[in-house]
Amino acid sequence: MGRNREDVSHTFVENFGNEPLVVRAPGRINIIGEHTDYNDGFVLPAAIDLAVYIYIQKSGTTKTKLISVDLDDSYTFDISDTLEPVEQGWVNYFLGVIDQFRLSGHSLEGFNLMFTSDIPMGSGLSSSAALECGFGMALSQLFDIEVEKTALAKMGQQAEHKFAGVKCGIMDQFASCMGKDGHVVKLDCRSLAYEYYPADFKDYELVLFDSNVKHNLADSQYNIRRSQCEAGVAAIQAIQPSVQSLRDASLEDLEKAKSDMEEVVYRRCKYAIEENIRVQAVCDALQAGDIKTVGKIMLETHAGLRDDYEVSCKELDILIDIATKLDGHIGGRMMGGGFGGCTINLIQKEAVDHVIDQVVKGYKGTAGIDTKIYRVAIGDGVGLYKEAINNGI
Ligand code: GAF
Q: Note the ipTM here.
A: 0.99
**C-alpha 239 – ligand 1 centre gap (Å):** 29
Task: Give ligand 1 pocket residues (Cβ under 6 A).
Answer: 34-35, 37-38, 168-169, 171-172, 336-337
Compute and round to an integer the Cα radius of gyration of the chain: 21
So what's the pLDDT on residue 288? 97
**Strand boundaries in 239-361, DSSP class E:** 329-334, 340-348
Q: Which residues of 266-299 are buried (b: 16+ CB within 10 A; e: fewer)?
A: bbbbbbbbbbbebbeebbebbeeeebebbbbbbb
CB distance 211 to 315 below 8 Å: yes
Name the residue of 168, 177, 305, 343 whose CB sits within 8 Å of the most ligand 1 atoms, as the mutation to test its pocket: 168
How far apart (Å, rounded) are the C-alpha atoms in residues 218 and 338?
7
Q: What is the reported pLDDT for 352?
A: 98
- Per DSSP, the three-state class of 108 is coil
d(CA 201, CA 204): 5
pLDDT value for 247: 98
- 329 marked ligand binding residue: no
Task: Give the neighbor-by-neighbor strand order of the sheet with 45-58.
Answer: 73-78, 63-68, 111-117, 45-58, 21-30, 383-384
Provide the annotated active-site residues: 172
The pLDDT value recorded for residue 216 is: 79
Residue type at 267 in one-letter notation: R
Q: How far is the CA of 273 from the centre of ligand 1 (A)?
A: 16
Residue 307: C-alpha distances to residues 223, 267, 304, 317, 385 (Å): 18, 9, 5, 11, 42
- Report pLDDT for 175: 98
Query: Which atom, in ligand 1's list, is nearest to the CA of 43?
Result: 11
- Mutate which of 172, 275, 344 for ligand 1? The one with the most ligand atoms within 8 Å of its CB, which is 172
CA of 354 to the centre of ligand 1 (A): 31
Atom of ligand 1 nearest to the CA of 34: 11
Residues 262, 224: Cα–Cα separation, whole Å: 14
pLDDT of residue 167: 95
Q: In what order do the strands lie in the sheet with 194-198?
A: 42-43, 183-188, 194-198
CA 55 to each of CA 207, 243, 278: distance values in angstroms, whole numbers, following the listed order: 30, 45, 40
Residue 324 CA to ligand 1 center (angstroms) comes to 24
Q: How far is the C-alpha of 58 from the C-alpha of 128, rounded, in Å? A: 23
Low-confidence ranges of the chain (pLDDT < 70): 1, 387-393
Q: Which atom of ligand 1 is nearest to the CA of 37?
A: 7
> 339: part of which helix (H) or strand (E)?
none
Q: Would you state the pLDDT for residue 144?
A: 97
- Residue 393: the pLDDT is 46
Which pLDDT does position 219 carry in this prediction?
85
Full DSSP string of 138-197: HHHHHTT----HHHHHHHHHHHIIIII-----SHHHHHHHH-BTTEEEEEETTT--EEEE
Residue nearest (by alpha carbon) to ligand 1 atom 9? 337
- Which H or E run contains 231? helix 218-239
Q: What is the pTM of this model?
A: 0.96
**What is the structure's pLDDT at 121?**
87
- Calculate helix-pair angle for 352-367, 314-324, nearest 10 degrees: 140
CA distance readout (Å), 342 to 195, 205, 214, 335, 392: 25, 16, 10, 6, 27
**67 contacts 373 by C-beta, under 8 angstroms:** no
- Please tell me whether 387 is known to bind a ligand: no
DSSP β-ladder status, 329-334 and 340-348: antiparallel
